[in-house]
Structure 1
């Protein structure tokens, strides 16, 4: 039996930093040959115990490009293990202070193993119970076989094989969901262009869709510009325009988001792939603006739309309390993507704050909610709002809860 010195330690927050720094150095060597890089293995999963060795996956056009730069990799401390795992791949390792610190895996694009590696990582990131179970097993086996790595590795194989199988099935379901969402989002996007290119002077998108970074939860930020003479008529018939886009679950016109002389609507449309969110801005020519990296979709008269921050409308009209309820329902839907992406804890604090403010000022009989970055927080808010909602808002809450349950089954 081969004896190998190794250790298993709790998850370290420094591991993603090590990955970023080292992968950036490698990208400088190979430049455009690397199409994508991913942090994989145990050190890529928050909360998962593992050996303090950073596994880096580099997706390349052709592994022959790697062979031509091996000398440069050797200069930064790497040694080549050749095609150790697969004839079409390359594996390099780097030791720091006598310990194997980095492993660089180079795989050609579309290699079938890539999907499995990323699926396993993403599954464990989304399923903390399996992550904990795997960590407990690792520590137990390390305690039992501190000097026999092969036995350690062999005896965790069964659980790992089960996790990999579950991960691949989970990933396939996620992919099907993502494709369905994209298909429905494309339908709405095309309708927006068709409807507004017929009546508006100019139309553009901004946000994640314009940047090319949208995902299955991203909304569509759409801006339509009208002549200063026509905008009042458009605003008067805006509800008819909204309904032409699709079946509306809920919409809210937040006055603080109105462009000067125009209007704004948060629109949630019912589709076969769940609710799709559109932020729609209708403005006169004199207050139209291109935000950040906007993408112009049509421009009939070659209007010169200035770049910069939006000029907001300052006029306000008094609205009833159900309008405030409607706003919080919409924000609760936004909370779903914030939880899945795990990139904006402050939003959940904001959501709880505006809910509790509504409760304290208008509905003291409903329950107070404490901030917690989980779907339970969203469920509590929706359940409590349902009690004090009108029929329209209740129907929207029911649709959002159905979607939330679907997301929990898929992602959590």
Structure 2
């Protein structure tokens, strides 16, 4: 979401992340469950055994953008602000306008065939079953966090080639 991380901190995997995701998911289902296909835990906190920034990434999966206005209205009624796609095709970001009782999380609404969603789940699924890649990614993240502790843009740029390599050999293979 728009609020940039001030200090990049990577922590060892914590099973609490999955518990927190389930609590947030239940809350969101109460707001929009009848409009959506599913709610997915994505990002590094969703990969068991992978160190991560302690921020949960959540994809709300929709059938098509036709339903987005209704979702936006309901989320706005519950204290979320729509932020657009933040430069990533196939996802719409939302940010809570007030502090809630959950750990920090990023919320995205994605069409089921959208690029953002497909990349999120492909990366998650690949890292979940590939221990070598998971360890390489973890080492890269620790190194980048140390080198760019206060520069989230450089930290993210540093992960791009690794992520692109996985996506190129999975969903974008020739």
TM-score (norm 2): 0.83
1:70 to 71, 75, 79: 75
The alignment yields a C-alpha RMSD, in angstroms, of: 2.6
- The alignment status of 1:145 with 2:148, answered yes or no, reads yes
2:128 to 110, 125, 130: 125
Q: Which residue of 1 aligns with 2:159?
A: 156
Q: CA deviation at 1:3?
A: 8.3
Q: CA deviation at 1:85?
A: 3.9
Q: Which residue of 2 aligns with 1:107?
A: 110
- In structure 2, list runs of 5 or more residues that go unmatched: none
Question: Contact 1:16–1:44 at 8 Å: present in 2 too?
Answer: yes
Q: Deviations over 1:40-73 (max 9, x none)?
A: 0010001111111111111123212212213333
Q: Which residue of 2 aligns with 1:12?
A: 14
- In structure 1, list runs of 5 or more residues that go unmatched: 171-412
Q: Which residue of 2 aligns with 1:116?
A: 119
Q: Which residue of 1 aligns with 2:26?
A: 24
Q: Residues of 2 paired with 1:118 and 1:54: CA distance? A: 14
Question: Contact 1:63–1:89 at 8 Å: present in 2 too?
Answer: no
Q: Residues of 1 paired with 2:41 and 2:90: CA distance? A: 20
Corresponding residue pairs, total: 166
Q: CA deviation at 1:100?
A: 7.4
SS at 2:54 equivalent: coil
Q: Deviations over 1:181-215 (max 9, x none)?
A: xxxxxxxxxxxxxxxxxxxxxxxxxxxxxxxxxxx
Question: Contact 2:122–2:171 at 8 Å: present in 1 too?
Answer: yes
Q: Which residue of 2 aligns with 1:406?
A: none
Q: Deviations over 1:128-174 (max 9, x none)?
A: 1100010011111111121112111111211121122233269xxxx
In structure 2, relative to structure 1, the CA distance for the partners of 1:96 and 1:12 (3 Å cut) is farther
TM-score (norm 1): 0.37
Q: Residues of 2 paired with 1:159 and 1:87: CA distance? A: 19
Q: Deviations over 1:314-345 (max 9, x none)?
A: xxxxxxxxxxxxxxxxxxxxxxxxxxxxxxxx
Q: CA deviation at 1:103?
A: 1.1
Question: Contact 2:47–2:127 at 8 Å: present in 1 too?
Answer: yes
Q: Residues of 1 paired with 2:113 and 2:144: CA distance? A: 35
Question: Contact 2:11–2:51 at 8 Å: present in 1 too?
Answer: yes
Q: Which has the higher contact order (CA 8 A, sep 6+)?
A: 2
Q: Which residue of 2 aligns with 1:59?
A: 61
Question: Contact 1:11–1:47 at 8 Å: present in 2 too?
Answer: yes
